[in-house]
A and B are shown apart, each in its own frame.
Chain A
Amino acid sequence: MKMRKILLRLPGEVVLSDHSILVLTVLYFLLIWAIYPHMAGRRNLANLFSNVWPLLALVIGQMFVLIVGGIDLSQTSIMAVTSVLGAMVMATRFDPAKFQHNPLWDIVFSEQGGWLAGSAGAVPAAIVFMLAVGIAIGFLNGLAVAKLRMPPFMVTLVGMSFFSGLAIYLTRSENIMHLPDRFIAVGKGAVGPVPSALLIVVSLTVIAFVILNRSVLGRWFYAVGQNIRTARVSGIPTERVIILAYIFSGFCAAVGSILYSARLEAGRPTLGRNLLLDVIGAAVIGSISLFGGKGKVLWAVYGVLFFVVLDNSLNKMPLEFYSIDIIKGCVILMAALLDALRTRIGANQLIPAAGG
């Protein structure tokens, strides 16, 4: 009798579990592996994980904003603008045919390279600059949302448009090549056997975990997202908490920009132009709520893993290109349905518990 009860409750518990997306990912991976043996090949796994790291950096940042009940649509434009600004600082050469009509020619950069080209500090300075710009844009977004009480959707949508345009204006649509090898190594190199991108993003993930799970600030993030009025009455500095969430999102977008720019070996004004759906999609698949107050670092990791495995697997199949888009959309929808199912089962289980 007891066993039967356990078996009956098991599916619900599995679906409700924190790890259900991981189970789904592993099952899906194994299914695809059975069909396409190279799915688990060393090269494919390395490739798969190299796609995880930069996306995870963005999703971690997005998660903070979602937890406080906001959304950051400007992440991809932060990537674009930081990518070109960083390249303008450190690129070793600029092609006059493409850049001599740029208003910043001979002011910020010239044929001999960027502002700090050739100096030992060029790469660290460019990275710090990129992170600072990301933080500054995040601060502006947070300020508009928290202090001016503007809708996050509108603020970050306008931010997306403005900073994307700025990136294109600064470069006149040109990609900036000739980035230093030391910078490219940040995205493509390794420390011993460990890819440097992994080290960077795992560190970022640990920081995010500590903030959310081991600090008062973390509890404030959840409190603000669950009910901002109650949080305010409880004495939580809600405005500062919201601003901090957007700052962290901007910071993470800049980290993503560093990794993507390094792997593409260029500062690109259109960097991440089509990445927003992946970021929000992975967060939602990871069960991070769009309504605020709900989200975990582990969920973000699972969401990104599922998304990247899905993308990778679809690239294995001999499908026509439009079929891939359709399948991807359907699978994301199914994952969203699963999330809705989890919420319903959770609510059903709470009602009898409350009643009895």
Chain B
Amino acid sequence: MKNAKRFILMVLFGLVVFVPGGCSRKDKQSAQITICFAFQDLETEYWVAAHKAITETLRAQNIKVLERNAHQDANRQLEQIRDAIAQEVDGIIMIPQDGESAVTIIGEANKAGIPIGVFNRPPADRSKPALVVVADNERIAEEAVAYMAKAARKLNRKMTPLILVGDLGDQNSIERKSGFYNAVDAHPDLFKKPIEVPTKWDATTTLANLEAALQVEPGVDFLFTSSDFLYPQVKAVLEPLGKWKPIGDADHVILGGLDGDSTAYKLMKEGYVDATGVQDLFFEADAIMDALLEAIEKGQSTPEKWIQDPGFALTQENMAEREMDMWGCRILKDAEAGIEK
């Protein structure tokens, strides 16, 4: 054992003394721009499509992209972004775990003088400067639910509305809920008191909570999901109850959501969904990349800009003209075109 200890000490001493040639090297060896793209996870089609759009566009511009997945852990995301800062990246694009951790992480980037862009999930407050692109969730949700209410009005009966609420730690979720209530409260004669079902943006939780809610109140006939990725759970609960019926059927539940993914598009085409709020994913991805690259080019270390994606509601009425503005429709058609080729 004595030999081993001596050997270890000699090796460590030798390495520390002789190897560190890297010490004198300059960190920046090329003019290539490096951007850290830190995302909280890729659990929905929206995040997957955003990830693809951002990484592919940046790489096509010969920008080095450091991808970091925090697996829904705010502390891990903080550590990953601190590591990126230590690497002296030129800029950071972040999809934060939640608005609160976004504020802390923006502070780290500000302190290091590295421009940071926040994609789609805004910080809890605007105390620290950042580039933020976010959809006008409240207005988009309101527009979609207003169309659903218009469809409900034709049925000449009092409706029992239900909303699948997202994680209330997420500002987007809060705004979508507000948009829903704005539209529902505009028709006090049409709606009973809405039922709120928490989902925490989790498919399993949604399934369990929605099943429980419909056992208590089986008369639900108007349902808004705060995110399109929960449609499979909605179908799984409604179908056994005989309530998964297309528009025009007496048992049809008026359905709507928000995001604009390919599932929502298919369900609208098949006539199950009445309306869905659409975030313009490609606009948002382009906007955050353009703003960040402009800040890097101008040498701005703490740029501040709040970019809003106006979005729109795709309804059964305007579908023929506007479906190609829906990102879910476009990626679906692109995929189909790829298969045909």
Contact = CB atoms under 8 A, between A and B. Distances in A.
Interface string B197-230: 0101000000000000000000000000000000
Contact of A47 (B5, B65, B82): B82
B296 interface: no
A4 to B, nearest CB: 13
A264 B104 contact: yes
Contacts of B12: 23, 26
> A interface, how many residues as a size bin?
35 or more
A17 interface: yes
B59 to A, nearest CB: 10
B252 interface: no
A14 B22 contact: no
B72 to A, nearest CB: 7
B75 interface: yes
B84 A315 contact: yes
Contacts of A111: none
A173 interface: yes
A350 interface: no
A273 B74 CA distance: 10
A272 B19 CA distance: 37
A39 B167 CA distance: 37
> B interface, how many residues as a size bin?
35 or more
Contacts of A34: 19, 21-22
Contact of B79 (A17, A51, A173, A174): A51
B8 A315 contact: no
A30 B87 contact: no
Nearest to B73: A274
Contacts of B23: 37, 40
A52 to B, nearest CB: 11
Contacts of B83: 44, 47, 312, 315-316
A30 B74 contact: no
A175 interface: yes
A17 B4 contact: yes
Q: Is the interface of A mostly helix, strand, loop or mixed?
A: helix
B66 A318 contact: yes
A175 B100 contact: yes
Interface in A1-20: 6, 9-10, 13-14, 16-17, 19-20
A9 B3 contact: yes
Interface string A274-287: 11000000000000
A216 interface: no
Contact of B124 (A39, A50, A177, A324): A177
B88 interface: yes
B15 interface: yes
Interface string B89-107: 0000000001011011000
A209 B33 CA distance: 47
Given A263-B78, A274-B76, A39 B4 contact: no
B69 to A, nearest CB: 4
Contacts of B78: 263-264
Contacts of A315: 66, 68, 79-80, 83-84, 87
Contacts of B20: 30, 33, 40
A318 B27 contact: no
A311 interface: yes
B95 to A, nearest CB: 12
A274 B68 contact: no
B165 to A, nearest CB: 10
Contacts of B103: 177, 265
A354 interface: no
A307 to B, nearest CB: 12
Which of B4, B7, B84, B85 has the largest count of A CB atoms less than 10 A from its CB? B4
What 8 pairs across the A-B complex have the smallest Cβ distances? A13-B4, A44-B86, A315-B83, A321-B69, A37-B22, A37-B25, A175-B100, A274-B73
26 contacts: A9-B3, A10-B4, A13-B1, A13-B7, A17-B1, A23-B8, A26-B12, A26-B16, A30-B15, A30-B19, A39-B22, A40-B20, A44-B86, A44-B87, A98-B169, A173-B198, A175-B101, A177-B124, A266-B100, A266-B104, A273-B73, A274-B71, A274-B76, A316-B83, A319-B67, A322-B69
